[in-house]
Structure 1
Amino acid sequence: MKGIAKRRTASVCLQQLVDLGLLREQKARREKLFVHANVLRLLKSEEHSCASYGQE
């Protein structure tokens, strides 16, 4: 069980970022992905602009 505390810590931190609205949790089979929507939008856009948090 070596390393389990690190995984739990990461899980708690990621969930806090989801709660704050910085990340979006997405299931992919047995895995959970944590997506930063603004970064994805920025990478996909041609104009390279990004909205401020809470103004989407």
Structure 2
Amino acid sequence: MKNDYENHYNYLLKKISAKIDEHIDDNEVDDKLVSVKQKELEDALIKDEQIKDSDVN
């Protein structure tokens, strides 16, 4: 009986650990995507400022 509880506990622990790892992986991907999008936005803003500056001159 105790072995059944231990097996079930270990099963749940592995399942929870896998779920946490999955979320960590998803967040790492999201962080990379955010970094890329942020860089694209910053580059676009720099180009926009350069265009505005050249229009003024």
TM-score range, shorter chain: 0.3 to 0.5
TM-score by length of 1: 0.37
Bigger share in strand: 1
Greater percentage in helix? 2
Higher relative contact order (CA 8 A, sep 6+): 1
Structure possessing the higher radius of gyration over alpha carbons: 2
